């Protein structure tokens, strides 16, 4: 599914508002979900309550109060200290750990966090590459991909999970979910199978899920894949489906790898918005109202 012009975007925005209304038919929850959907899809939304909602910046003002966004420092159980991006209202009763791609906690990942913050979640995105090199923020060109793959190889799976646990701990006693993209999609799956901290897990185009598909999840899981993903063949998706009949698996016709990232050539605004809508609805069902 390709990108849309202004008229097409307006139609998608109206459609998303109608769908969000069906998922969350009352007031505040509907409005937060609608804003988040439109924000990540790159669609304009007029704030008819005259409150400023700046989803791309570091300071978010939402109905009901202020929510600061910015970097924090965390310490893992093994003593490792690292950075994380924190967004969302302090009064939030639900939290999300957002897990990066192989490109670090870059501007795209911060926008993802800000969209979930606008939906009312307290969000923490741990900088998992800090164990290899602090402060990594990459783009999406060939050199960035090569560097990201190299950094990923320097960080052990066990260490990454320790950092994810620390990010979960930073969200306190809230009802927690985990969501990840690309490499983070696989890590979100492991958050379900190798941790007891989360009540729901969502993975977007996680390439390593098929290799660990027989692991038992400790919480409900939803997975999103592009039909035309060059790194995740449909045969892998079918293997996951056969191994995990209880997992919700969603495939987007014509979509490629990274279809949810507005900085990639494979970005598809309608598919990204639909996947976000489904992710939000999944968390609403499993984390509580």
Average pLDDT over residues 240-254: 98
pLDDT at residue 59 above 70? no
Q: What is the pLDDT of residues 125-166, one digit of tens each?
A: 999 999 999 999 999 999 999 999 999 999 999 999 999 999
Q: What is the pLDDT of residues 35-50, one digit of tens each?
A: 445 444 443 332 222 2
Q: Which CATH number fits domain 6-287: 3.40.50.1820, 3.20.20.105, 3.40.190.10, 3.90.1150.10?
A: 3.40.50.1820
pLDDT at residue 288 in the model: 82
Q: Round to whole Å and give the CA distance between 120 and 192.
A: 22
| Angle, vertex CA 235, rays to CA 41 and CA 178, nearest 5 | 45
Q: What is the pLDDT of residues 69-81, one digit of tens each?
A: 899 999 999 999 9
Output the average pLDDT for the chain: 83
pLDDT at residue 12 above 50? no
Cβ atoms within 10 Å, residue 188 = 30
Pick from 67, 74, 61: nearest CA to 105: 74
Q: H-helix or E-strand containing 167?
A: helix 157-170
Q: Round to whole Å and give the CA distance between 66 and 204.
A: 29
User: What percent of the chain has pLDDT above 90?
Assistant: 75
Output the DSSP codes for 37-72.
Answer: HHHHTT-----TT-----SSSSEEEETTEEEE-EEE
What's phi and psi for 65, nearest 5 deg? 145, -170
pLDDT at residue 97 in the model: 98
254: region left, alpha or beta (phi > 0 left; psi from -120 to 50 alpha)? left
Query: Do residues 193 and 214 touch, judged by C-beta distance below 8 A?
Result: no
As a whole number of Å, the CA-based R_g of the chain is 18
pTM of the model: 0.80
Q: Round to whole Å and give the CA distance between 12 and 7.
A: 9
Average pLDDT over residues 175-185: 98
Average pLDDT over residues 166-185: 98
Looking up tokens 């990639």 gives 264
Residue 3, CB half-sphere, CA atoms under 13 Å: how many? 13
Q: Which residue has the higher pLDDT, 47 or 186?
A: 186
Catalytic positions, written as ranges? 182, 229, 257
Quick one: pLDDT band at residue 64, thresholds 50, 70, 90?
A: very low
pLDDT at residue 289 in the model: 60
Kindly report which listed range (64-68, 205-209, 274-278) carries the lowest average pLDDT score.
64-68
Residue 61's beta-bridge partner residues?
Answer: 66
Residue 70's beta-bridge partner residues?
Answer: 86
pLDDT at residue 67 in the model: 59
pLDDT at residue 14 in the model: 43
Q: What is the pLDDT of residues 201-210, one digit of tens each?
A: 999 999 999 9
Q: What is the pLDDT of residues 85-106, one digit of tens each?
A: 999 999 999 999 999 999 999 9
Looking up tokens 């899920």 gives 209
pLDDT at residue 229 above 60? yes
Q: Round to whole Å and give the CA distance between 289 and 279.
A: 14
pLDDT at residue 262 above 60? yes
């Amino acid at each position: 599914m390709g990108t849309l012009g202004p008229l097409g975007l307006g139609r998608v925005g109206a459609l998303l508002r109608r769908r969000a209304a069906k998922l969350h038919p009352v007031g505040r929850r509907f409005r937060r979900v609608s804003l988040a959907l439109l924000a990540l899809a790159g669609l304009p939304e007029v704030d008819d309550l005259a409150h400023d909602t700046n989803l791309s910046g570091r300071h978010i003002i939402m109905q009901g109060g202020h929510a600061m966004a910015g970097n924090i420092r965390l310490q893992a159980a093994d003593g490792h200290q690292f950075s994380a991006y924190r967004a969302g209202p302090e009064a939030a009763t639900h939290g999300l750990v957002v897990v990066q791609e192989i490109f670090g906690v870059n501007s795209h990942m911060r926008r993802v966090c800000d969209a979930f913050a606008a939906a009312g979640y307290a969000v923490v995105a741990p900088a998992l590459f800090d164990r290899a090199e602090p402060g990594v923020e990459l783009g999406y060109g060939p050199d960035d991909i090569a560097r990201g793959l190299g950094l990923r190889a320097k960080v052990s799976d066990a260490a990454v999970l320790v950092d994810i646990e620390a990010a979960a701990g930073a969200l306190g006693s809230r009802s927690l979910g985990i969501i990840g993209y690309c490499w983070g999609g696989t890590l979100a799956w492991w958050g379900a199978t190798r941790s007891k901290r989360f009540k729901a897990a969502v993975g977007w185009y996680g390439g390593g899920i098929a290799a660990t598909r027989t692991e038992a999840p400790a919480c409900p899981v939803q997975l999103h894949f592009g039909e035309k993903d060059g790194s995740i063949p449909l045969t892998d998706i079918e293997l996951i489906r056969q191994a995990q009949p209880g997992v919700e698996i969603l495939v987007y016709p014509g979509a490629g790898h990274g279809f949810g990232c507005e900085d990639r050539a494979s970005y598809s605004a309608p598919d990204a918005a639909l996947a976000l809508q489904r992710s939000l609805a999944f968390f609403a069902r499993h984390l509580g109202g």
